[in-house]
Amino acid sequence: MIVQFLFSNSSSSDEICWENIIALQEALHLRLDTFPLVYTILKITKSYKEAHKIIAEGRQLTKKFNKNLIVNYLV
């Protein structure tokens, strides 16, 4: 699973491995502004739970992008 890949080199289960996220972005040929979930996690917080909360509260993300499509990339 990609989610496990994102967290695989972390010191804690809540901490995101930045190298893996960037590698995933490059492999999928995605820019940060076309992948708002990763952009939010990278720019706002290192905590997965905190990022999830921010994303859930950030309704503007769902207006421009299909949230289910983004989630499917990560699951």
Least Cα distance to 21 among 44, 38, 40 occurs for: 38
Reading the block at residue 27, the tokens are 């492999």
27-53, pLDDT tens digit by residue? Answer: 777 665 556 666 656 665 666 666 666
- How many domains does the structure of the chain reveal? 1
The pLDDT of 6-23, averaged and rounded, is: 58
What is the reported pTM? 0.33
Distance CA 60, CA 63 (A): 5
Those residues with Cβ within 8 angstroms of residue 54's Cβ, 6 or more apart along the chain or in another chain: 40, 44, 45
pLDDT of residue 40: 59
pLDDT of residue 27: 74
With DSSP H G I counted as helix, E B as strand and the rest as coil, what are the percentages for the chain, rounded to 5? 70, 5, 30
pLDDT of residue 57: 65
The pLDDT of 6-19, averaged and rounded, is: 55
The residue range of the domain holding 48 is: 2-74
Amino acid at 40: T
